Amino acid sequence: MIQHTLDELKRQAALKAVDYVQDGMVIGLGTGSTAKHMILALGERIRRGLKIRGVPTSQETADLARSQGIALIESDNTWTLDLAIDGADQVDPQLCLIKGGGGALLKEKIVAAAARQLIIVVDHTKRVPMLGNSFPLPIEVVPFGWGNTAKQLEAIEGKAVLREREGRPFRTEAGHFILDLHVGSITDPADLEIRLNQVPGVVETGLFVGRTSLLIVGTPEGVVLQTAPQRS
């Protein structure tokens, strides 16, 4: 019952996010359970005449988008996105994120960086006073020498655990591994992102700092909006 309730909260937040989509836009399409609600809602609007194009962040998203009539842009083209809509595993008060629980963090960050606006959609349980602690930080790494990469990451902070599926290393769509870095409170996400990205073998981290334009939160009391804080 609780899970069903949280899923409904995600759906309500996703419906609100779709209100920001206008005819003719090029949209970045996130990955995960919240993004699924968003894509289904876009499909409903497309059947009522909305015309958009999308850039998917995973094969799963691409397949669902096509089933909903969303025209997709080839990933190797150059594109500028009007808007990207995605979920997150954790969100702090400054709208910094941890993403990558589903393994699509690399494509998600590429899409986020190309978007004029990034809308993040979550249920209220994803909001935390500080990133880290209860959710590990995913880090995408090249398979070669991943053990050495893990040691260097641990020298910075935390304990790196190779993500596995069915007893074998999980591989991203790009063929990389993911190390889940178990850390305490991340007091300075921007600094940590820089230091982790300096480790040879790291492709990308699941820290999304300074990228969120608008947070839409599904809560038991209704949908709540939070805009990004002004940066000096």
List pLDDT tens digits, range 197-226.
999 999 999 999 999 999 999 999 999 999
Report if residue 22 sits inside a domain.
yes
Q: Residue 149 carries which side chain, given as an amino acid letter? A: T
Q: Measured between alpha carbons, how far is 108 from 230 in angstroms, rounded to an integer?
A: 23
Rg, the chain, Cα only:
17
Please check the confidence at residue 109 and state whether its pLDDT lies above 50. Answer: yes
Report if residue 225 sits inside a domain.
no
The predicted-structure confidence for 62-102, as pLDDT tens digits, reads as follows 999 999 999 999 767 788 899 999 999 999 999 999 999 99
pLDDT value for 74: 74
Place of tokens 């590990």: 136
Number of domains within the chain:
2
Please check the confidence at residue 2 and state whether its pLDDT lies above 60. Answer: no
- Count CA atoms closer than 13 A to 113's CA, side-chain side: 11
**Catalytic residue IDs:** 108
Q: What is the pTM of this model?
A: 0.94
The predicted-structure confidence for 5-39, as pLDDT tens digits, reads as follows 899 999 999 999 999 999 999 999 999 999 999 99
* 102 and 180, same domain (yes or no): no
3-class DSSP state for residue 197? helix
Q: Measured between alpha carbons, how far is 149 from 88 in angstroms, rounded to an integer?
A: 25
Report if residue 229 sits inside a domain.
no
Q: Which two tokens stand for residue 57?
A: 């962040």
3-class DSSP state for residue 173? coil
* 10 and 84, same domain (yes or no): yes
